[in-house]
Structure 1
Amino acid sequence: MKINWLAALLLAFGFINLAHGKEFVVSYDGFYDRLKVIEKGEFEFARVNFYVVDTATLAPCAIASGKIMTEKMEAPLAYTEQAQLLLPYDKKLDKDKAVVVLEPKNPQHSCQLKFQIEAEHFDSSHLTSASLFQLHTEFDELLSDLSGFFVSKLMSFLLPEQKGVLIEFSQPVSFSNKQIKCEDTVCKFAIDSAWQDSTMKLLSSNDRAEIVTVKPWIEK
């Protein structure tokens, strides 16, 4: 089993603790560095997203307000009900040392930032072997790119082991494929090179189940 604690620390995904209080401030440059990897890469589905979550439960921390500030400007910050931060990719904000200011609805709530690699625009129509192989490859490349040259090339043994793709569905499902293991609404897809050229549709036991989230399956 590969050691994964350093990779979680080094930009790929992870957490930054935020103090209790009426509002907290985070430098924009950390977000910009991660967004730049996505902008410069060729990723159809893979993304890195940012959330504010409860320190203990990892449930979303409700946000009362948010803004991006520099010494010369201030703009509202977009976010979702699930406390996902919808940050712009803006070189000028990075150059101007912008900060992100967030106010939680509950000032006593202990919150932290969560960086999550996941897929966007990947729905049930993409449940083919070839599409899942592509997504698995994108996740692997993104994890490597976010970890940087030093870790991915010279200290690759420190990277977590990516086994495949983990998909959460809206309803319990199962698949007949032996490389897919499901528990209730969550399925783990163990993907190998044999999936690359197969356009076979992967049919589940529940055709009403919709995809909720898609993430890399990381062996911890």
Structure 2
Amino acid sequence: MLKKLLASSLLLSSIGAYAGDVSLDYKGFYDRLKRVNKEDYSLITMAFYVPNSKNCKIISGKITTERKSYPLIYNKDQQLLLPYDEKLRSDRALIQLNLAGDTTRCGIQVQIASKTKQKHYEATSLQQMFAEMDALYTDLQGFPMKYFSKGISGISFNFQSVTQIKVNGVPKQVEDKFVLTESELKKLKHLEFSNNPVRISPWFNH
């Protein structure tokens, strides 16, 4: 179940409302971010997305407590860029979203993802990213399943349009997704994209 959730970004929880304002407890997001921040993961995070469809369009958003209101930052991929803040958790903050469309099938997606999305990568940074993704994936499974985990199989790069790629200088073209397997990563020296990826996440072949 966890593998499917992280690999294909299945819905974490249904928002279950029609167009308008939706409130979500910040604590649920904080608890997931805490799993990342308690370890020294410098390249990855837990990413939260509102599905980018006609029924899940973000009009605006904010983070609120009883006394204060803060702007909610999100990108064009509708990733919620949430702070990791103990005070917001203790103040019982809410994530408030104003959505357009029929949101009964909308939800929040959670996924292990790279913090940055670059056009150029050297082998060492991608090897570290793979190791961190694999370690966090194993940790999220908990006891005793983490001792039986097969781990991740590679790294997936998603794009918004056709992208030119160079693997160790050898060119190729992809439509919207490129997968770098663990075995390919071991042979990699450098990787180049003509466009910045919109999402970089673990890939599974099992």
- Scaled to the shorter chain, the TM-score interval is 0.7 to 0.9
Q: Is the 8 A contact 1:35 1:48 kept in 2?
A: yes
Per the TM alignment, residue 135 of structure 1 is displaced from its structure 2 partner at its CA by 1.1
One-letter code aligned to 1:132: L
Give deviations 1:135-165, integer Å, cap 9, x for gaps: 11111122233x1xxx334123775741011
1:65, 1:102 within 8 Å by CA — same for their partners in 2?
A: yes
**Is 1:81 paired with 2:76?**
yes
Look up the match of 2:200.
Answer: 214
| Alignment of structure 1 residues 1-220 onto 2, 5 Å | 5-6=1-2, 14=10, 15-21=12-18, 22-53=20-51, 61-106=56-101, 108-110=102-104, 111-126=106-121, 128-145=122-139, 147=140, 151-156=141-146, 161-169=151-159, 170-173=161-164, 184-192=175-183, 195=186, 200-202=189-191, 208-219=194-205
TM-score by length of 1: 0.72
Question: Residues 219 and 53 from structure 1, CA distance in 2 versus in 1: closer, same or farther, beyond 3 angstroms?
Answer: same
CA shift in 2, pair 1:154/1:172, >3 Å: same
Instruction: Provide closer, same or farther for how the CA distance between residues 217 and 35 of structure 1 changes in structure 2, counting only shifts above 3 A.
Output: same
CA shift at 1:42, angstroms? 2.0
What is the CA–CA distance in structure 1 between the aligned matches of 2:2 and 2:43, rounded to whole Å?
25
Q: Distance in 2 between matches of 1:159 and 1:63?
A: 36
CA distance in 1, matches of 2:63, 2:57: 18
The normalised TM-score by structure 2 is 0.76
Give the secondary-structure state (helix, strand or coil) at the position aligned to 2:103. coil
Q: 1:159 to 1:64 in 2, by over 3 A?
A: farther
Letter in 1 for 2:134: D
Contact 1:182/1:188 (8 A) holds in 2: no
* 2:47 maps to amino acid: N
In structure 1, the gaps of 5 or more residues are none
- Equivalent AA in structure 1 for residue 16 of structure 2: A
Question: Cα 1:158–1:96, aligned 2, differ >3 Å: closer, same or farther?
Answer: farther
Q: 1:132: Cα distance to partner?
A: 2.0
CA separation in 1, counterparts of 2:188 and 2:5? 36
Letter in 2 for 1:17: S
- The CA distance in 1 between the partners of 2:63 and 2:119, in whole Å, is 36
- Partner SS for 1:134: helix
Q: Which runs of 5+ in 2 are unaligned?
A: none
Range with greater deviation from structure 2 (77-86 or 153-162): 153-162
Aligned length: 197
Secondary structure in structure 1 of the residue aligned to 2:131: helix
Identity %: 29
